Structure formats: C-alpha cells, structure tokens
C-alpha cells in the first residue's frame, strides 16, 4: 500500500520514518563524537559527512511533510484521549526539532565562514553573512536542539515500546509492517 489510510501507514511514510530515524540517531551519535575528535583530516571528513547528511535530512523532511499533508492521518490507537493528545504533541515536537536542527547547523557553519558542501557535489547558497557572534549563537542553538531531540527520541521510543508491550496495540507494528 503506497498511501496512508485511516488504519495504517503506507510504505512511503514508513520508509520516510525509518530512514530519517536512522539518520537522526546517527547524526546525534556522530555529532557527539565530533566533540571528542582531535582536529585533522579525519575530523574534517566526519564534519563534512555530518553537514552533508544533515542537509539531506532537511530535504527529506520537506518531502516527508508534504507527503504527510496529502495523506489521511492514521487514527490514534492509544488507551485514552489524553495519551493520544500527548502522542500527537510529541510528533509535532519531533518534526519541529528535526527541521530546526539542520537549519541551525547550516546557519552556524555559514556564519563561521565554513561553506556547506553537500557530499562534494555542490555548495549551499549562503543565507547568512560571516559573523562569529551569530555563529556562536547558532552553535548554542544546535547544541540545545540536539539535547532536546535526544530526550524527545528517548521518550518517543519508550512510548512505542509501551504501546507494544503494555497496551498491546498495533501502533508499533503498523509503523514497521503497515499491518
């Protein structure tokens, strides 16, 4: 099934979810690793990969939101209205964080005068001029959003496991297999 229905997620939404989930988890771990790496060729390689993958996440998120907009929304399966509402709020929060994080990363890099080259193919147009002060602000935002994102993802995974093992509903399975 290509498109989402009121009952479940189609394969496009599932693919978006799992590809972006893996990328975001990798980016959180990779970003953390960056802090421990000594400066040099290897670090530049990892930073380049981090920036390229982050830019790719931003593009994927735009398509994902468009797809979400033109599809019906699968109904909530939680045990009560409060938890369903909480789940919806959490998904909006995740979407916002995953959109903001690459934007802050791009603004930080450009403000620090480091162009964003995407997988060695092309360079993103500059949206902000060189300014160390602005770079420092976006660097802080990038750190804060990363922490919020890590917490939100941990809660999100715990909620998915609660649905599966405690409530024993189809929430996790319909995101995995669509059934």
Contacts to ligand HEM by CB under 6 A: 17, 21, 24-25, 27-28, 31-32, 34-35, 47, 50-51, 54-55, 57, 68, 74, 87, 91, 94-95, 98, 101-102, 105-106, 109, 116, 139, 142-143, 146, 149, 153, 156-157, 160, 171-172, 175
The number of beta carbons lying within 10 Å of the beta carbon of residue 119 is 12
Task: Quote the CA–CA distance of 178 and 171 in Å, as a whole number.
Answer: 10
Closer residue to ligand HEM, CB minimum distance, 134 or 153: 153
C-alpha 63: how far from its chain's center?
A: 13
- Work out how close the CB of 121 gets to ligand HEM at its nearest, in angstroms, rounded to a whole number: 14
- Work out how close the CB of 118 gets to ligand HEM at its nearest, in angstroms, rounded to a whole number: 9
Supply the DSSP symbol for 10: -
Closer residue to ligand HEM, CB minimum distance, 134 or 156: 156
6 near 75, Cβ under 8 Å?
yes
Task: Quote the CA–CA distance of 113 and 105 in Å, as a whole number.
Answer: 12
- Work out how close the CB of 142 gets to ligand HEM at its nearest, in angstroms, rounded to a whole number: 5
């Amino acid at each position: 099934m290509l498109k989402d229905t009121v009952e479940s997620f189609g394969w496009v939404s599932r693919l978006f979810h799992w590809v972006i989930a893996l990328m975001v988890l990798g980016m959180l771990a990779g970003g953390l690793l960056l802090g421990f790496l000594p400066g040099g060729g290897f670090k530049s390689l990892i930073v380049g990969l981090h920036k390229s993958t982050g830019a790719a996440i931003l593009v994927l998120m735009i398509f994902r939101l468009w797809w979400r907009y033109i599809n019906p929304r699968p109904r909530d399966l939680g045990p009560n209205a409060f938890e369903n509402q909480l789940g919806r709020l959490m998904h909006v929060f995740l979407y916002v964080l995953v959109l903001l994080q690459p934007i802050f990363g791009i603004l930080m890099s450009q403000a620090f005068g480091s162009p964003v080259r995407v997988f060695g193919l092309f360079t993103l147009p500059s949206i902000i001029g060189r300014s160390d002060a602005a770079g420092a602000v976006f660097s802080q935002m990038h750190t804060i959003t990363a922490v919020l994102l890590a917490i939100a993802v941990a809660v999100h995974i715990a909620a998915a496991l609660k649905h599966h093992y405690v409530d024993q509903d189809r929430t996790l399975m319909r995101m995995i297999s669509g059934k």
